[in-house]
Structure formats: structure tokens, C-alpha cells
Amino acid sequence: TKLFKDADEYEFNSKEEEENVPGNILGKIVHSILEKGTEHNLLKNEIDFSIEMEDELISYNKVSKNKLRNEIIDLIEGFYNSKSFKKISQLKNYQNEIEIYKRENDYYLYGIIDKLIIENDKIIITDYKTDKISKKNIKEKSETYLNQLMFYAYILSSKFPQINNYQLSLIFIRDDTFSVSKSVNKNEVIEFGQVINDSVNKIRNKQFEELKPGCKNMEFYLLEECQF
């Protein structure tokens, strides 16, 4: 409730002001819903529950929470009707939100894959992004995030040595028309391991380069020319 002056008269405005909810909270809830594979008819209840259980939203008012709720509903319903969702829904041998590790010399590589699909001689690494995407930033973001998926592929290469082909699937939840898929072979994945090794050496030797465009958005570590 706030007091404001209008035409020399004071009134009480009981309308709550809207607070902007950080994008990382929205992304966290969206990823949680997709990890559970929530059915469409249960979607709204699951979103309500997730919002109420999110500690970072305790201090936010109802106006902000309702706005967040509606935005998440629109995003996930839109995704459920997308080509990417229909395609991955047909694949049965998958794991959601899987943690992966790889020991590399005297350090470990680590990542979390949104959806890992193993199909015959191919591994499909799917990652969901809730970024606001446009023609202006799609090139930078896709390059950054595809490197992230190459990082994951390299970790997986030691766990599945028999696999020769990888599909890197980057899905932009806000607009599936910008989603990107790239096929790479085992040799390309192994070669990327050298990029990781060089990056580790740079970090240890404190050889930090100027922050490369797009690196600030990364959710993984040890990529070439990125400062951490």
C-alpha cells in the first residue's frame, strides 16, 4: 500500500507494485518442470507448487508471482506444442537432468545434462535454454552453448567409448524456431578435449584473456578464452 498525491488530493493505492523476478529463477523452475516430464493436465498445479516451494521467491508479492506463473505456463505450453518437443518425445531411452563426471589428469570435469538420449550408435545431448533470443544474438548464444554441449560430449566419450556419433541439440524454449542441432563425430569430440586441457593450463597459470563475448552466459567451466 502506498500513499500518493494526485490533483491535491491524497488517496491510498492498494495495488501492489510489480517486482522483476530474476531470469535464473524462471529458468530453474522451467528446468525442474521439464525434468519431471510433467503432463499437460498437471502443468499448472506443478508450476504453482514449484513457485511456492522456491525459497528465493519468499519475499516477492502475489503480483510478481502471478506474472511469473503465467510466463512459465506460456513458455512450457508453447514448448509442448513445438517441433523439438514432438521429436524428442518419440525417443524412449533417455535420462533427465543427469550429472556427469570425468577425471582428467589431476582434475575433474563436471556437467549436468538436461536430457541424455542414447540411440544405437548415437548420443543425443539436449539442453534447454530460457534466454530471450533474437536474430541479433542467436549467433553468439548458439556458438557459446554448442561449445557447452561439446564439453559434455567429451565427458561422455570416456563412458561410452563404443559411440561414434553425437548430436548436440540446443533448444530455446522461448522460440523453438531458433533451436539448433549439430552432428559431430567421435574424433571431433576427442579433439575438443585439447581445448579443455589448454584452458585448464591457462587458468592455473593465471593467463586470463579479455572476456570473450558470450562467455559470461556459460553454465560450465574450462572453456578456451573464458575468464572465471
pLDDT digits (tens, 9 = 90+) for 153-209: 999 999 999 999 999 999 999 999 999 999 999 999 999 999 888 888 887 787 755
Shared-domain flag, residues 93 and 16: no
Using alpha carbons, select from 60, 71, 91, 221 the residue that is nearest to residue 169: 91
User: What is residue 116's three-state secondary structure?
Assistant: strand
**116, 160 in Cβ contact below 8 A?**
no
Task: Please say which residue of 33, 50, 81 terminates a domain.
Answer: 81
State the Cα–Cα distance between residues 45 and 155, nearest whole angstrom: 36
Question: Which of 59, 81, 103 corresponds to the end of one domain?
Answer: 81
Q: Is residue 228 assigned to a domain?
A: no
Q: Which domain holds residue 73?
A: 2-81
62 domain-assigned: yes
**223 domain-assigned:** no
Pick the closest to residue 148 from 183, 111, 188 (CA basis).
111
Residue with cell 541479433: 136
Instruction: Give the span between the Cα atoms of 60 and 73, in whole angstroms.
Output: 19
Same domain? 145 vs 193 = yes
Between CA 132 and CA 138 the distance in angstroms is: 10
What is the pLDDT confidence band of residue 223, given thresholds at 50, 70 and 90?
A: very low
Task: Show contacts of 135-140: CB within 8 Å, 24+ apart.
Answer: 138/178, 140/213, 140/214
35 is a domain residue: yes
The pLDDT tens digits for 22-69 are 778 889 999 999 999 888 889 999 999 988 888 778 777 788 888 989
114/168 Cα distance (integer angstroms): 12
Residues 12 and 25 in one domain: yes
Question: Are 200 and 113 in a shared domain?
Answer: yes
Rounded CA separation 208/154 (Å): 23
Instruction: Among 81, 104, 121, identify where a domain stops.
Output: 81
pLDDT, residue 91, reads 86
49 shares its domain with 93: no
Residues 193 and 181 in one domain: yes
Task: Report the number of distinct structural domains present in the chain.
Answer: 2
- Let me know whether 41 and 71 are in one domain: yes
